Chains A and B, each alone.
Chain A
Amino acid sequence: MRQSKGERIFSVFNAVILTAIVIVCFYPIYYVLISSISDSSQLAAYSGFRYKPVGFSLEAYKQVFKNPSILNSYKNTMVYVSVGTAVNMLMTCIASYVLTLKKLVINRFLNKLIIFTMFFSGGMIPLFLLVKNMGLLDSMWALILPVAINTFNMLIMKTSFEGIPESLMESARVDGATDLRILFQIVLPLSKPILATMVLYYGVANWNSWFNAMVYLRTRALYPVQLILREILVTSNALSLSGDVSGDIIDISKSVQYATIIVVTLPILLIYPFLQKYFVKGMTAGAVKG
């Protein structure tokens, strides 16, 4: 099918606009990346657009890897993300599976109970007081337990589980299998794609999370990396009034700030292109449902 002249002009026009959008999406990160490998003393002179590094220096990265706060918080984040995501997956799989068991008398009530929580909550303060009264303040579990199940993710997984033929589960039940066994030996092995998607969703969310840590953690040694990053980037600027910036964070040079951003974001940036299809699949699964 030959394109008319008008259509060809449009295609060119379209390509130009889309390329511009790609550049806009990517430029801020690119800017940070090249600034992080720039020579920090020359950086100040070159404000405005940058296309390539100003001088070359890995000094910023050396400083990042020498900073005890940053290293420690990176370790913390790794722990929180692994344990947190494991808890997320376990709880979400159980909840999703339970909701597919239409035969249970309690199912309709359970459905309403859960969906209601998507639209109304007690608020920040009551949750904070609850966590405090449970003695979870200043512990990793305050970051993990209250957010164990993301209801939206859980509903997507439930829809996916409902696609598994009832007959498979029935025959297992006839053979005397408990529901727990059915979940682990039949449902989960057949659900690998959606499980992969959810691991990614929860993993990224856990990696990027900072607010709960800020509210529930008092000991700086427990801070995840996003919280240390917040200190470096946002509060060490004269703007903020909160005074919890510690000695070794004030006076961090620009290029070290940039390097820290890259170090914190790099894991996500690296896995993302390869696993893009899983991220997208989750969204479309949710779209089909709702």
Chain B
Amino acid sequence: MNGKKVLKQKTNNGPNRLIRDIRFNPSAYILVAVVLAYYITFHYLPMYGVIIAFKDFSPGLGIMGSEWVGLEHFKLFFGSDYAWRVIRNTLQISFYTLIWGFPAPIMLALLINEVRHIGFKKIVQTFSYLPHFISTVVICGMLVDFCSRDGLFSIMFGIHDNLLTLPQHFKTIFVASGIWESMGWNTIIYLAALTGIDTSLYEAAKIDGAGRLRQTLSVTIPGIMPTIVTLFILQIGRVMNVGFEKIILLYNPLTYETADVISSFVYRKGLIEFNYGYSTAVGLFNSVINFSMVIFANRLSRKVNETSLW
């Protein structure tokens, strides 16, 4: 009896449990190996590569052979004018996107929800989702054309110049086109939330004499408030995370002052100017901030809502 107990203890610790599990489920662990191989190769190996941020990296010498420079790159970045410029632009673009872009899908969803005619509703939805599927290159191509000297927008706004060379307009063009792209698609989540509202609440409100507007204020909006708050918090978590694809297609040296964000700066320094260590350092700074913001946002969401990402 005692011998049996000892045997069980011996084989129940971590690594042994794992080995036993692998023997029990060989085919499953083959699949696990495939998945692990992918994530380790393309996600975790590059994470090891951030060590370049602390080195004076030269491709010829490799990571190990390159000289250690500690925080030099970081000091250089934060000491330069660039740091303030790109951080400011990133924050401003995120801020404008939040102020203008966040309410838009909510209001659109509320309006769509009020449509009684099913055919019209479907048409509105179909057309409003469409911009989401158009590629970034095509969208920027259209923007370049519309903003050109005698293009659609230049004529519309009476500015006789190439709009994309004027730094003061870049953020507007960028944020407005971003809203055009995503407003329709982002209504999907809100429309889904709207269907989750208990219809008896509307009945009760009507009995109390509430008109449509009152119903919207007292039943609809509170009903989707958890969704709104969650998404808002997540959006705040992404405030230092402006994607570079559209930026680098639209910006040019004339508009760097207002258009250059952290991610486009990282791209330019690294893959265009081959300043590998410096670029990785700035990228690392950005990743760490983004990561912290997500954790913070999630904690906040959990507190406010009892819902979280995990």
- The residue that A47 contacts in the complex, of B21, B35, B127, B151, with Cβ under 8 A, is B151
B165 located at the interface, meaning its Cβ lies under 8 Å from any Cβ of chain A in the complex: yes
B229 located at the interface, meaning its Cβ lies under 8 Å from any Cβ of chain A in the complex: no
B141 near A234 with CB under 8 A, answer: yes
B28 near A15 with CB under 8 A, answer: no
Report the minimum CB–CB distance from B205 to chain A (whole Å).
Answer: 14
Report the minimum CB–CB distance from B25 to chain A (whole Å).
Answer: 6
Task: Give A165 to B294 CA distance when docked, in angstroms.
Answer: 34
Residues in chain B near residue A232, CB distance under 8 A: 141
Which residue of chain A has the shortest Cβ distance to B42 in the bound complex? A146
With A25-B128, A115-B310: A95-B47 Cβ-Cβ less than 8 Å:
no
Q: Determine, out of B77-85, B93-101, B167-175, B184-192, the stretch whose residues face the partner at the interface.
A: B184-192
A11 near B49 with CB under 8 A, answer: no
Which residue of chain B has the shortest Cβ distance to A240 in the bound complex? B252
A47 near B49 with CB under 8 A, answer: no
Residues in chain B near residue A240, CB distance under 8 A: 252
- What mask results when residues 239 to 261 of chain A are scored 1 for a CB within 8 Å of chain B, else 0? 11100000000000010010001
- What mask results when residues 81 to 98 of chain A are scored 1 for a CB within 8 Å of chain B, else 0? 000000000010011011
B49 near A122 with CB under 8 A, answer: yes
Residues in chain A near residue B245, CB distance under 8 A: 211
Report the minimum CB–CB distance from A144 to chain B (whole Å).
Answer: 11
Q: Determine, out of A55-63, A64-72, A104-112, A191-199, the stretch whose residues face the partner at the interface.
A: A104-112
Segment 224-261 of B: residues with Cβ below 8 Å from A: 245, 249, 252-253
B279 near A25 with CB under 8 A, answer: no
A229 near B35 with CB under 8 A, answer: no
B207 located at the interface, meaning its Cβ lies under 8 Å from any Cβ of chain A in the complex: no
With A126-B49, A273-B126: A241-B253 Cβ-Cβ less than 8 Å:
yes
B249 near A234 with CB under 8 A, answer: yes
Segment 141-155 of A: residues with Cβ below 8 Å from B: 145-146, 148-149
- The residue that B21 contacts in the complex, of A95, A106, A264, A290, with Cβ under 8 A, is A106
- The residue that A105 contacts in the complex, of B18, B31, B180, with Cβ under 8 A, is B18
With A130-B42, A239-B165, A240-B252: A28-B115 Cβ-Cβ less than 8 Å:
no
B32 near A264 with CB under 8 A, answer: no
A interface: dominant SS: helix
Task: Give A85 to B27 CA distance when docked, in angstroms.
Answer: 24
A283 near B283 with CB under 8 A, answer: no
Report the minimum CB–CB distance from B253 to chain A (whole Å).
Answer: 7
With A122-B47, A125-B283, A234-B144: A287-B270 Cβ-Cβ less than 8 Å:
no
- The residue that B141 contacts in the complex, of A115, A117, A181, A257, with Cβ under 8 A, is A257
A26 near B43 with CB under 8 A, answer: no
A217 located at the interface, meaning its Cβ lies under 8 Å from any Cβ of chain B in the complex: no
A21 near B124 with CB under 8 A, answer: yes
Residues in chain A near residue B165, CB distance under 8 A: 239
- What mask results when residues 191 to 217 of chain A are scored 1 for a CB within 8 Å of chain B, else 0? 000000000000010011011000100
A272 near B133 with CB under 8 A, answer: yes
Task: Give A94 to B34 CA distance when docked, in angstroms.
Answer: 8
Which residue of chain B has the shortest Cβ distance to A181 in the bound complex? B27
Report the minimum CB–CB distance from A137 to chain B (whole Å).
Answer: 12
B200 located at the interface, meaning its Cβ lies under 8 Å from any Cβ of chain A in the complex: no
Report the minimum CB–CB distance from A212 to chain B (whole Å).
Answer: 10
A98 near B180 with CB under 8 A, answer: no
- The residue that A18 contacts in the complex, of B115, B133, B212, with Cβ under 8 A, is B115
A124 near B35 with CB under 8 A, answer: no
**What residues of chain B have their CB less than 8 Å away from a CB belonging to chain A?**
17-18, 21, 25-32, 34-36, 38-39, 41-50, 52, 59, 108, 111-112, 114-116, 120, 123-131, 133-138, 140-142, 144-146, 148, 150-152, 155-156, 162, 164-165, 180, 184-185, 188-189, 192-193, 211-212, 245, 249, 252-253, 266-267, 270-271, 276, 279-280, 283-284, 287, 290-291, 294-295, 309-310
Instruction: Identify 17 new A-B residue pairs, CB closer than 8 A, beyond the known A6-B212, A22-B128, A106-B32.
Output: A44-B150, A98-B35, A105-B17, A114-B39, A122-B287, A123-B46, A125-B271, A126-B49, A128-B270, A130-B42, A148-B38, A208-B133, A211-B245, A215-B271, A226-B137, A230-B249, A273-B126
- 24 of the cross-chain contacts (CB-CB < 8 Å) are A18-B124, A21-B124, A25-B128, A97-B31, A98-B31, A110-B32, A114-B35, A119-B290, A122-B45, A122-B47, A123-B50, A124-B270, A129-B276, A179-B25, A183-B31, A215-B271, A233-B144, A264-B135, A272-B130, A272-B133, A276-B129, A280-B188, A283-B188, A287-B192
